[in-house]
Structure 1
Amino acid sequence: MTQARLFAGARVIDPASGRDEVSDVLVADGVVQAVGRGLEPAGAEVIDLDGALLGPGLVDLHTHLREPGREDEEDIASASAAAAAGGYTALCAMPNTDPVADSAAVVEKVWARGHSVGLVDVIPAGALSRGLRGVEMADLGEMARGRAQVRLFTDDGHGVQDTLFARRAMEYLSGFDGIYAEHCEDASLAGGGQMHEGERSMALGLRGIPAEAEELMAARDIALAKLTGCRLHLLHISTAGTVDLVRRAKAEGVVVTAEATPHHFTLTDAALEGYDPNAKV
């Protein structure tokens, strides 16, 4: 048995139990043994956190680890180290790698590499379509049954343009409680766009992307999720209209979740004034 550690005086936050209070946490052998005020275990190493936040590990639902194929930008080892340093204990790796993670062979390579690095849980997502082309369904069942046990499938980076393909994929995924995750972007509306469409895009002379390019696909997928009973997750949503669609769908009992990125909820198109390329993500 390893020496016990007492994290004293932390602000303990646990959303699952609703806990948010100053407390002590006793850990031994990697397991939380007790939570409460005034703990005084014999022989424990005491670490005074002095009000610092202490809670369950964070989970990043949307990461681009770039392995395989673009290890010059990032790899599973470097991403895992960065995640662990920031308090994250699990990463969901998007499938737009090279080769695309559209088969059990690729997703299991990602899973195995994450397991061997061993810093955080690396959970690979699988592609919905072969090569992210939105035409032929990827090996969804094979990826789900393999060692990686993939449950989230997406063509992230490309919205699924074919509505019938989207329906068939949802029907298939609903058979084993898989999650259909969508990059909501209607290519016919968004094609060639460089920023949000509005007064600033006109003033800057840059082609804009209307909010409707996101909202139309979000509305379509919510309707299909209601039709098929498939679990739906909307990736990096960015408009108030999409947020409203998700709220209404949840109220109707549709199993839908969504995510937003830090730059989408902290920046506006005003950041592009001056043509600073760092504001283009």
Structure 2
Amino acid sequence: MWIIAKLTCREILSKRIFHITLFMSFAFLLFYAVATYFAAREVGEDFTNRPVSADFALVQSFFATQILGVGLYFASFVTALLAILSSVGSIAGEIESHQIDTMLARPIHRRSVIFGKFAGLGSLLVIYAAFLFLGVLLINQWIGGELLRVEFTVVQAAKALAIFVMQPLLLIAVALLFSSMMTTVNGGIVLIILYGIGFIGGFVEQLGVLMEKPTLSNIGIISSLVFPLDSLFRKMTVYLFDSAGDPLSFAAQGLFGSLSTPSGAMLMYAALYGCAALWLAVRRFSSRDL
């Protein structure tokens, strides 16, 4: 298993898509730093002569959390995209090119192939996700200034980071399942659609809770059960922004807040969802006639 994990890491590191993504990630962090700097300067000039009040604090919190939230949201999107593109063809692509025949000709159990690819892809994507997450947070803390700096503790940041890196692991597990069942293109399309359903459902759920519309809330809950990726992102913002169920805090955070806080049971469901997808991938690949 560990040999396959090592080979998977080498394969991903040698691919051009990884090099391009890494380069563009540095470009994104640079752009985010520049945008944060000028946003802090402009906001500081607007609020310099304004008296401190409850409205001022709400507006200041809105600007701060929006700047940090959009950075984390885009970091989550890029991480998810890299996870999908790097893993959805990890089995199907090798079957189509018959590269898997050489590997399976050796005394290797097929479950070792799945677990090895999950370990290799997961380790790389966890490091990459942590790099983006910490990069966005450090930029916010160092360049955001007094007005755009979001206050959080080390414990909050650690909890948020732990949830953030769960996202690519969930995607890799589901991608390996689809890769063992269908072609690379079909698996990628299905997974991207599930990704979109999850995040759109998350926004619908927040609007439903805010407007007290049970139908919208239920749609969001169902989408979270179908694909619980958005629940992980919302839970991450709750840990980082300390916004559990507070309408004023949600108003300050805008689109990136979470008025409907995912429970610990939902986190457990997301973990079981990924484990079930990985188990089904093993079962499907083990019974597949190559």
Establish whether TM, by shorter chain, passes 0.5.
no
TM-score (norm 1): 0.26
- Structure number with higher helix proportion: 2
Query: Normalised by the size of structure 2, how large is the TM-score?
Result: 0.25
Mark the structure with the bigger radius of gyration: 1
Larger relative contact order (CA 8 Å, sep ≥ 6): 2
